[in-house]
């Protein structure tokens, strides 16, 4: 009994990071309508940046957000401008090819530059735990969870209450609106890609104190983010958040009670079952689900 609560809490906290990464994807997909197969690689790049800042300058991972986030925002903007924008009107398959290519390039440049080793950041609080009612809670995971909650709330506020945020939401709701916006829409695309990228980057930074980075670390994140977005519903922040936590818990429970090697198999199974029985997403209303084919 104790163990199951312990496992669920730890999964829930990890789920906060998944939610963060997935919300980045949701925003990019909702606004730019591109399936970013290189999404997990954004996490990977951010993790390496965090690692280097620590390695060369001894910078604390949490402090390094001040550098990593703006850099990754810019990185997203550049990708949108030079990779995605030229093929905006190509077929869906062409867009997949382009982002698959990007993911290949990023993975293998990472391999060339950093070699295949697992890299970790040593921080004093990396293994730190606190006890609360007999349950041990990892401190970096707890920090990650609350940082995720805070940044998602900030994004939510931005989308709800600012002019630009409203414009972004309008595009997510009805993409024909994008055509009416003319020149400005390209700027919004750049912004959405930048923000989406920064969110996944934040996920990467928050992971660094308690996990390691290697060139292919991003692949599962791409899959997880898509599963979360499909479960949570496109354009639905709340749904994505809940679905992220859900996958975190499923992973932790599956990894503990079934087999650590099969945890990904388990949420893939959930993904398949979910699209068969509830194609509109488990939590969200699934705006734009028609484009996914989940009619």
Partner 1 sequence: MRNNKLKTAAAIFLLGLLAVPLYFTSTFVLHMFTLVFFYIALTAAWNIPAFGGKFSLGHAAFFGLGGYTAAILYVKLGISPFIGVVAGTFVAMLGGVILSFPLVRLKGPFFTLASIAFAEVLRMVAVDWRSLTNGSVGINIPFKPSWLNLTFTSGAPFYYMALGLALLVIGLAWWIRSSSLGYHLRAAAADEDAARALGINTAKAHFMGLMWSSGLTGMIAVFYVFYNYVLEPGTAFSMDLFSLQPAMNGIIGGMGTVWGPVIGAIIMTPLGEFLRFYLGTIQQGLNFVVYGLMLIAVVNFVPGGIVSLIEPWFKKKKSGDSSAADN
Q: Which chain residues interact with partner 1 by CB under 8 A?
A: 35, 37, 83, 86-87, 90-98, 100-102, 104-105, 107-109, 111-112, 116, 215, 219-220, 222-223, 226-227, 230, 259, 261-262, 264-265, 268-269, 271-272, 275-276, 279, 291-294
What does the block give as tokens for 93?
Answer: 């398959």
Residue 274: CB minimum distance to partner 1, A: 11
- What are the respective helix, strand and coil percentages of the chain, to the nearest 5? 75, 5, 20
Q: Which is nearer to partner 1, 50 or 289 (CB)?
A: 289
Residue 62: CB minimum distance to partner 1, A: 31
CA distance 278 to 27: 22
Residue 272: CB minimum distance to partner 1, A: 6
Angle 110-113-118 from CA coordinates, rounded to 5°: 65
CA distance 11 to 13: 5
Q: Which is nearer to partner 1, 3 or 101 (CB)?
A: 101
Residue 270: CB minimum distance to partner 1, A: 11
Residue 242 half-sphere exposure toward CB, CA atoms < 13 A:
12
Residue 109: CB minimum distance to partner 1, A: 6
Instruction: Please list the alpha-helical segments (H only) found in 58-138.
Output: 61-79, 92-114
CA distance 64 to 122: 14
Residue 3: CB minimum distance to partner 1, A: 22
Residues in the chain: 295
Residues contacting 164, CB < 8 A, separation 6+: 158, 188, 191
Q: Which is nearer to partner 1, 109 or 180 (CB)?
A: 109
Residue 264: CB minimum distance to partner 1, A: 6
- Other C-beta atoms closer than 10 Å to the C-beta of 291 total 15
Q: Which is nearer to partner 1, 87 or 181 (CB)?
A: 87
Q: Whose CA is closest to 201, among 24, 7, 63?
A: 24
Q: Which is nearer to partner 1, 104 or 154 (CB)?
A: 104
Residue 124: CB minimum distance to partner 1, A: 34
Residues contacting 285, CB < 8 A, separation 6+: 233, 235, 236, 239
Q: Which is nearer to partner 1, 61 or 235 (CB)?
A: 235
Q: Which is nearer to partner 1, 38 or 192 (CB)?
A: 38
How is 138-152 classified by DSSP, letter by letter? EHHHHHHHHHHHHHH
Q: Which is nearer to partner 1, 140 or 244 (CB)?
A: 244
């Amino acid at each position: 009994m104790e163990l199951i609560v312990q496992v669920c809490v730890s999964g829930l906290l990890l789920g906060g990071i998944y939610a963060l990464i997935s919300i980045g994807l949701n925003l990019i997909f909702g606004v730019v309508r591109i399936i970013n197969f290189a999404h997990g690689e954004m996490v990977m790049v951010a993790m390496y940046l965090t690692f280097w800042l620590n390695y060369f300058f001894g910078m604390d991972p949490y402090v390094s957000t001040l550098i990593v986030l703006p850099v990754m925002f810019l990185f997203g903007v550049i990708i949108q401008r030079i990779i995605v924008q030229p093929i905006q009107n190509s077929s869906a398959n062409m867009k997949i090819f382009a982002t698959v290519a990007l993911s290949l390039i990023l993975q293998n440049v990472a391999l060339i530059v950093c070699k295949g080793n697992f890299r970790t950041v040593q921080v004093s609080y990396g293994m730190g735990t606190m006890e609360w009612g007999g349950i041990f809670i990892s401190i970096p995971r707890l920090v990650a969870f609350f940082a995720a909650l805070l940044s998602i709330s900030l994004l939510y506020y931005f989308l709800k209450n600012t002019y630009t945020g409203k414009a972004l939401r309008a595009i997510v709701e009805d993409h024909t609106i994008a055509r009416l916006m003319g020149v400005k829409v390209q700027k919004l695309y750049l912004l959405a890609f930048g923000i989406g990228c920064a969110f996944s980057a934040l996920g990467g930074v928050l992971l660094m104190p308690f996990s390691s980075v290697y060139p292919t670390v991003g692949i599962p994140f791409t899959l997880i983010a898509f599963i979360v977005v499909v479960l949570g519903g496109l354009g639905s922040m709340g749904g994505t958040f809940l679905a992220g936590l859900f996958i975190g818990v499923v992973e932790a429970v599956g990894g503990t009670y079934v087999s650590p090697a099969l945890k990904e198999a388990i949420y893939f199974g959930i993904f398949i079952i979910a699209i068969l029985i509830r194609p509109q997403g488990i939590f969200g209303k699934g705006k734009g689900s028609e484009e996914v084919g989940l009619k």
